[in-house]
Amino acid sequence: MIKLQLKTLCIVLLVFTAFTACKKKNDAKSKTQLLTQSAWLTAKYEEKVNNGAFVDDFPNWDACDKDDKTIFAANNVATLDEGATKCDPNAPQTQTGTWSFGDNETKLVLNGENFTIEQLDETTLVVSRVDVFLGDTYTTKITLRH
């Protein structure tokens, strides 16, 4: 009788453990949480004209621009921080503006300018923008990382 009870208890514990181990956690972060969790640094700044190939201009940037940080706060304030090195010593260390999501969180609106969100996850933010000027289509794609 004791062996049967012990065996039944083991089976119950095994089943309970299996069900609780398989239980999925709802750890998915919202887009606001992903955007605001820490500062972003530019990793790529690509441009293309019409149907041409994207060209990354970021390697040509001055070092004082490469260390700039963009910080999105949950209160919809965006801050550009000049980082450790400033190109103009008289320039302010930080400048602020506004940000919001548009079109069901598929757009990032930064100081009234619309960017399409191509990727937003724990480590990467990719936004793009298309402008038409004098009959040519200019596409800009910016990749930022934590």
pLDDT digit string, tens, across residues 7-59: 433 343 344 444 444 444 567 999 999 999 999 999 999 999 999 999 999 99
pLDDT at 14: 40
Name the pLDDT band for 90 (thresholds 50, 70, 90). very high
The first and second tokens of residue 28, run together, are 């998915």
**Which whole-number Å values give the CA distances from 118 to 31, 125, 141, in the listed order?**
12, 8, 9
Identify the CATH class of 29-145: mainly beta
The first and second tokens of residue 75, run together, are 């209160």
pLDDT at 71: 98
Cα 12 to Cα 3: distance, rounded to the nearest angstrom: 14
pLDDT at 11: 43
In 1-146 the beta strands, taken as DSSP E runs, fall at 40-49, 55-56, 69-72, 77-81, 94-102, 107-110, 113-120, 124-133, 136-145
Cα 81 to Cα 64: distance, rounded to the nearest angstrom: 11
pLDDT at 49: 98
Residue pLDDT, tens place only, 119-146: 999 999 999 999 999 999 999 999 999 9
pLDDT at 25: 55
pLDDT at 27: 74
Residue pLDDT, tens place only, 55-80: 999 999 999 999 999 999 999 999 99
Domain boundaries, the chain: 29-145
